[in-house]
Structure 1
Amino acid sequence: MRASQRARGEDVALVDSLLSADERRRSSGVRFDELRAEQKQLGKLIPKATGDEKAELLKKAGQLAADVKAADADRDAADAETQELLLQLGNLVHPDVPVGGEEDFVTLETHGTIRDFGGEGFEPKDHLELGQLLGAIDVERGAKVSGSRFYFLTGVGALLELALVNAAIAQATAAGFTPMLTPALVRPQSMAGTGFLGQASQDVYHLDKDDLYLVGTSEVALAAYHMDEIIDAERLPLRYAGFSPCFRREAGSHGKDTRGIFRVHQFDKVEMFSYVAPEDSRAEHQRLLDWEKQWLTSLELPFRVIDVASADLGSSAARKYDCEAWIPTQGKYRELTSTSDCTEFQSRRLSIRVRDGKQVKPLATLNGTLCAVPRTIVAILENHQQADGSVRIPEVLRPYLGGREVLEPVAK
């Protein structure tokens, strides 16, 4: 765990503080049990005693009651400290994860062909200019109504989102996922249990009056769906495809991606979520990645797969793969989907267990983005644009757009 903390770039001393607190928890628990046993034994002697002996025993019982109460308080305090420190620890990093920060990822594979717009004789427009030509994106009125990083999808923009969501859910359903419409507001224990109230808390919206959190991903609701439950091993794997609005403060992104809809405060997303036996988590992680690759390939987007470095994992992931699509006007790959193996990290915190014969133990949870709508729209508009400002629709989406093959610019 010390090595894992070091790889994450986080406080290694936290591990030693946790061990010390746990030792106090254990020793105070032993002390309480000893005093409680002594108190019970004394309780049996008092009724049989008389005179001075009984008076002495009653005096001792009074002192013992105070000691038991103090020991109980010490035990509770040590337990609370242990739990508080434990919640600050990230998941144990997988040994094959590349060590380092955001730029220290390893590229595992690339897919598709990057278009040569110069060879086609025109300069590509960015997604916002295209969105305005198509009557699909309105960020000016989004800012007027709600502030920066908000937007309207209008006309074909709204239809494109609905097509993406329907196509993504269709793929997930065909792969055996149960479609889910999930709550966007969750209780603190759901947010903390999934690992979003630690280092990620700065990006979380909180409703103080109700003590509820707006989710940044339906992963939170899907992970907490089986909170405090024991699941029979025969039911695994359980796979859900959740659709929900997502809310992120983007507190650490000042000045980044301020143009258009790539980085916004509110967006819709289709998320895959799996519950599996711990020994099956690595294989399930690869399956989630394969489904993401299938989705991006069906959208005819050039993309690469990266093995995310240790300090960029987030607290709940032991390992994470990102699929990054090529964005022509930025001249680089940008994250579109992500899949994380959270091993037993979330299930332990949410008390989700599997019963395998007579054994009851934590299970593994995994998540994978199938379609984060605004970023996917960005990639589609820029990669499939044509010289006249129109945008070709990938075949997989056409049945959900009434057979439409091209989005045409609208009159001003």
Structure 2
Amino acid sequence: MAGAGVAAASLLPAHVNAESGQGQQGNPNRSFSLKGRKLGALEVSSIGLGVQNMSRTYTGTTPYRPEMISVIRTAFDQGVTFFDAAEAYGPWEVERILGEGVAPFRDQVVIATKFGWNIDPETGERRPGLNSRPAHIKRVVEGMLKRLNTDRIDLLYQHRVDPEVPIEDVAGAVKDLIDQGKVLHWGLSEMGLKTLRRAHAVLPVSAVQSEYSMLWRGPEQEVIPTCEELGIGFVPWSPLGVQFLTGWIDAKTTFAPGDFRSTESRFSPENLQQNVALVDLVTDWADRKRAAPAQIALAWLMAKQPWIVPIPGTTNKDHLLQNIGAGEVHFTPAEFTELSDAIASIEIRGQRLPDAVQVYSDVEAPAMAK
């Protein structure tokens, strides 16, 4: 099993403080000074917190709710102002946890959440496929506001593109919500590029969210250049490669039944033999920079562009502090080029997602009816 009984401190190099996630000169009692970044016109902390697993972890366990509230509040205490959820996580339960967690400082943080899966707004029943019909979006947002205990959603994403609904109709529904003050900014996730351009033309998009890390670099080809062209921020989900880039996973790792990583061929035994070369690289750089492997992976993403804001998820306070500490890891231009070239030289074998899930990515919305 992948590190199921490993203490949090064992993930850190010997020279890294287990409380602060920093090197020998780190102060475990100090607050991190996370600089602000812009997603379009929306300002957030340079590192966010993804709360997806706070109702159910990769391995299928249910975290202790009071501890999840404590993780959220610790993140805020350490400078995190950007929290990411979705109605589909739970479904609904993660939004409730986040709403409770940020209640004492709601007006000082940015809440992001997502609509788009076909979830019954009354019962929470998961139904097949997607649903971004305008009337449905508006009903979903009313439920989100109640679960999050707030009067507005700072950043509302379409979780996946609905192949049955023109993106112009989706943008129109979100614009209505913005006009009512219930939504402040909007974004898209894992969309086709033509759909992104059409959406942005109707209602300026603040952020795109897609998987992106040293392990999966697909967005570098077209998505990130398009975001740069249009002035749209980019939010990598799974910036630590579902724990791969933390050093938890090695060539001998197997996954428990129900752990979705067992369905990703990049983690199959035959492919792990090749792919762990990336872990070795990150670990070497962690030693070199007196940091933890996860910090190297996150710092590299942040060094790519000033409008990239990773949202590592965790249910562990030590890991949270470690991730936040990535904001204090920096590369010289020569180091960044050297590291990037080394990453590019490693061929990652296997798919990032099973076909049944990948089919929902890179979808183009249908044209408007004439």
TM-score bracket for the superposition, by shorter chain length: under 0.3
The structure with higher relative contact order (CA 8 Å, sep 6+) is 2
Q: Which has the larger radius of gyration?
A: 1
Comparing both structures, which one devotes a greater share of its residues to strand? 1
